[in-house]
């Protein structure tokens, strides 16, 4: 187990030849959120990321460019280092596997395993994939293609050194079974257990002859060979603790790692290769290896050939840093595959950020500026509305947020934060401070409302700070507060009322300008704050008897329904959707807010089925939705589709699918 009071979080070390894309940003931002959160909780955090710079692909790319491999790596490394700075990543160290100190640690471990007779030399013949830099057996290869990358493989026969990985198969199985959180999510854990249960674990080739590959770390016991790139790369998680921190070494204080964050494509190398290597070296295993999903783009696999690789730099240019950080962790439950589209991002920016949190800050500052000469007033008498708002906010910081973040449920954590944003905006609408300002007799009540709005924003800034540190700081600056989000602020339960009466606000520009979608892209349409006295939205009408409305429902159908043509019907896209989460909409008896998966994307749907179903009853069900309905709002919450249900005056049943059907399947 890791040492009390510490938290060690790692990303994979990214391949230096890659162009940084949304997948790299996804893992690194997630790790950054955990690092920032645990610093707030008072943990001594070490956050490591870096680059894998050895291997055949680097050697070939350098040769093609006519330069030495080290110069090639030195030219490419800044593209990652600069991106992490731009994305406000708070890593404590950045490792490169060409570091001399790292090489020494790798050679020390190789020699230790060799001395234990856990490394031996043997002849080997197999199919080799240069892109993945690994051998495949005859049964793995079909049509001469690599099972992973589908590129051609070549037959190689050579002498190599092997690590006796196979003898640790039973020990690894027991460890996984005894430690349920060792591999997460559970679906990935089951994959590894299934593999270990059905297949015999072979020994691992951990060398490459210099005659074929010279760019690598030389074996300490045979200078005609270099080590396999994965043996080199995986050791970084321990070697970094020996030479990168200011206090050297700190391995005894931080190892084992609390969390290795990886993509699902490298789960086997971490869960099997790395784990057995650690067992052979008598080192404790990391507490958790979490393998998240992949991103597609508009439903298609991301690739250079398709020209649809999402560049994080461009996303920051177009939408803003914190909007990008918010979107990629809010859009998809961590661990599942996700689909990126600019239209979905525009929707999130406008509905959640601009209309939600940005609107709350803007109206709070405008009201204080206009009615209290830029000073936060002293709260007066409180009522049930204030107590409800305070309870929701304190519960968020003390219970809900820690529960979700400690389970790596980033999307649910953000959903919980925005529930409080919604409650706060509803509080403002209900108390109508712009009306209170008209009567001197309501001055005490107005003071209370304005103070509670400001204090709620302080707490929300604290809640969002791991996700959107720049925006959190902006909220505090505009409120006239000075908070250090790198300091310990959540070691003890949150106390309400830390905003001091008389604090002078410093109103600035809009926190999240709205985005206007255009064919050539998206751009902010206004930098002016949203008015503090909004135009009241039309109240949603009652749902129709035959459907659980995701948009304001139409009036009841006429007695003789108008017939439609088959062409008109074919315009309606009915698809299956799996319910990921469900919750009640505050202040509504009927409405439930659902998060549903359509396979390549996640949708939010508001449905009028709350009288019939409790939220927990719906999670995991496969339902039918209208997928191409224009988004609309119910009680200020955007709904991106319609759930089909049966009933007359009341909903009596939900349209569900009995058999196992993939989410997103068309309903005909």
Does any domain span residue 190? yes
Structure confidence at residue 600 (pLDDT) = 65
Does any domain span residue 430? yes
Judge if pTM exceeds 0.75: yes
Chosen domain end from 239, 270, 293: 293
Structure confidence at residue 567 (pLDDT) = 66
What are the tens digits of pLDDT across the range 411-452?
999 999 999 999 999 999 999 999 999 999 999 999 999 999
Same domain, 45 and 85: yes
Range of weakest confidence among 44-48, 430-434, 620-624: 620-624
Does any domain span residue 320? no
Same domain, 24 and 158: yes
Residue 97 belongs to a domain with what CATH number?
Answer: 3.40.50.620
Look-up of token digits 């209290």: 372
Same domain, 515 and 558: no
Residue 638 belongs to a domain with what CATH number?
Answer: 2.40.50.140
Range of the domain at 445: 339-524
> Which DSSP string corresponds to 229-258?
HHHHHHTHHHHHHHHSSSSS--HHHHPSPS
Helix (DSSP H) and strand (DSSP E) numbers for the chain: 23, 27
> Which DSSP string corresponds to 71-109?
HHHHHHHHHHHHHHHHTT---SEEEETT-HHHHHHHHHH
398: which DSSP letter? I
Does any domain span residue 593? yes
Same domain, 497 and 639: no
Beta strands 288-292 and 183-184: pairing type? Answer: parallel
* Cα distance from N-terminal residue to C-terminal residue, the chain: 53
State yes or no: pLDDT of 590 exceeds 80: yes
Same domain, 606 and 512: no
Same domain, 347 and 287: no
CA 16 – CA 22 distance, rounded (Å):
15
Does any domain span residue 59? yes
Does any domain span residue 665? no
Residue 498 belongs to a domain with what CATH number?
Answer: 1.10.730.10
Judge whether 461 and 486 are in contact, CB under 8 Å: no
Does any domain span residue 331? no
CA 635 – CA 290 distance, rounded (Å):
36
Same domain, 587 and 447: no
Does any domain span residue 39? yes
Same domain, 493 and 591: no
Distances (CA, A) of 245 to 12, 53, 100, 152, 178: 18, 21, 15, 42, 33
Structure confidence at residue 551 (pLDDT) = 35
Structure confidence at residue 541 (pLDDT) = 33
What are the tens digits of pLDDT across the range 338-382?
888 888 899 999 999 999 999 999 999 999 999 999 999 999 999
Structure confidence at residue 3 (pLDDT) = 66
Judge whether 276 and 192 are in contact, CB under 8 Å: no
Please enumerate in sequence order all residues whose Cβ is within 8 A of that of 596, keeping only pairs 6 or more positions apart, or say none.
577, 578, 579, 580, 602, 603, 604, 605, 623, 625, 641, 663
Same domain, 179 and 231: yes
Residue 204 forms beta bridges with which residues?
163
Half-sphere exposure of 192 (CA within 13 A, CB side): 30
Chosen domain end from 276, 293, 310: 293
pLDDT averaged over every residue in the chain:
88
Please enumerate in sequence order all residues whose Cβ is within 8 A of that of 199, keeping only pairs 6 or more positions apart, or say none.
none
Same domain, 286 and 404: no
Same domain, 366 and 229: no
Same domain, 145 and 108: yes
If one counts the domains in the chain, the total is 3
Q: What's the average model confidence in pLDDT over 497-518?
A: 89
């Amino acid at each position: 187990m890791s040492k009390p009071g510490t938290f060690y979080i790692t990303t994979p070390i990214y391949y230096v030849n890659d162009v940084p894309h949304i997948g790299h940003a996804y893992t690194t931002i997630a790790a950054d959120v955990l690092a920032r959160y645990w610093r707030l909780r008072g943990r001594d955090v070490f956050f490591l990321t870096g680059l894998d710079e050895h291997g055949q692909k680097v050697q070939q790319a350098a040769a093609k460019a006519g330069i030495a491999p080290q110069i090639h790596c030195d030219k490419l490394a800044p593209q990652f280092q600069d991106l992490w700075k731009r994305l406000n990543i708070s890593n404590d160290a950045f490792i490169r596997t060409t570091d001399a100190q790292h090489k020494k640690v790798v050679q020390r471990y190789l020699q230790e395993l060799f001395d234990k007779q856990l490394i031996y030399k043997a002849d080997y013949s197999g199919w080799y994939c240069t892109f993945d830099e690994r051998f495949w057996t005859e049964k793995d290869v079909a049509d001469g293609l690599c099972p992973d990358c589908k590129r051609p493989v070549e037959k190689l026969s050579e002498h190599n050194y092997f690590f006796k990985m196979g003898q640790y198969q039973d020990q690894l199985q027991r460890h996984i079974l005894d430690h349920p959180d060792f591999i997460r999510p559970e679906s990935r854990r089951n994959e590894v257990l299934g593999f270990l249960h059905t297949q015999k674990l072979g020994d691992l080739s951990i060398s490459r002859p210099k005659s074929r590959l010279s760019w690598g770390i030389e074996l300490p016991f045979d200078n005609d060979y270099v080590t396999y790139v994965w043996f080199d790369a995986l050791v970084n998680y321990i070697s970094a603790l020996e030479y990168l921190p200011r206090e050297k070494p700190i391995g005894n204080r931080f190892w084992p790692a609390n969390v290795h964050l990886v993509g699902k494509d490298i789960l086997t190398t971490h869960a099997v290769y790395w784990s057995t290597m650690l067992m052979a070296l008598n080192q404790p295993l990391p507490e958790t290896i979490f393998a998240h999903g992949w991103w597609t783009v508009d439903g298609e696999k991301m690739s250079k050939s398709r020209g649809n690789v999402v560049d994080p730099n461009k996303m920051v240019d177009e939408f803003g840093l914190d909007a990008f950080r918010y979107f990629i962790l809010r859009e998809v439950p961590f661990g599942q595959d996700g689909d990126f589209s600019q239209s979905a991002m525009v929707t999130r920016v406008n509905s959640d950020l601009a209309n939600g949190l940005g609107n709350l800050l803007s109206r709070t500052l405008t009201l204080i500026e206009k009615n209290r000469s830029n000073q936060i007033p002293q709260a007066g008498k409180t009522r049930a509305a204030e107590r409800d708002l305070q309870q929701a906010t304190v519960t968020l910081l003390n219970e809900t947020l820690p529960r979700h973040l400690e389970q790596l449920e980033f999307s649910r954590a953000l959903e919980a934060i925005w529930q409080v944003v919604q409650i706060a905006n509803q509080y403002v609408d209900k108390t109508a401070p712009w009306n209170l300002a008209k009567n001197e007799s309501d001055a005490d009540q107005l003071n209370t409302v304005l103070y509670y709005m400001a204090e709620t924003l302080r707490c929300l800034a604290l809640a969002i700070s791991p996700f959107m540190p720049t925006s959190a700081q902006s909220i505090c600056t505009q409120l006239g507060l000075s908070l250090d989000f790198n300091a310990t602020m959540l070691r003890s339960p949150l106390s309400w009322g830390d905003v001091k009466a008389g604090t002078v606000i410093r109103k600035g520009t809009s926190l999240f300008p709205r985005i206007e979608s255009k064919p050539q892209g998206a751009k902010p349409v206004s930098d002016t704050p949203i008015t503090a006295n909004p135009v009241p939205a039309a109240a949603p009408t009652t749902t129709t008897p035959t459907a659980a409305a995701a948009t304001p429902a139409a009036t009841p159908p006429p007695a003789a329904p108008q017939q439609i043509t088959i062409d008109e019907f074919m315009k309606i896209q009915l698809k299956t959707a799996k319910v990921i989460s469900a919750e009640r909409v505050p202040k509504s008896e009927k409405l439930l807010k659902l998060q549903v998966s359509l396979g390549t994307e996640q949708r939010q749907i508001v449905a009028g089925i709350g009288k019939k179903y409790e939220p927990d009853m719906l999670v995991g069900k496969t339902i039918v939705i209208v997928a191409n309905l224009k988004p609309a709002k119910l009680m200020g919450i955007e709904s991106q589709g319609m759930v089909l249900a049966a009933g007359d005056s009341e909903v009596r049943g939900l349209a569900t699918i009995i058999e196992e059907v993939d989410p997103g399947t068309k309903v005909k």
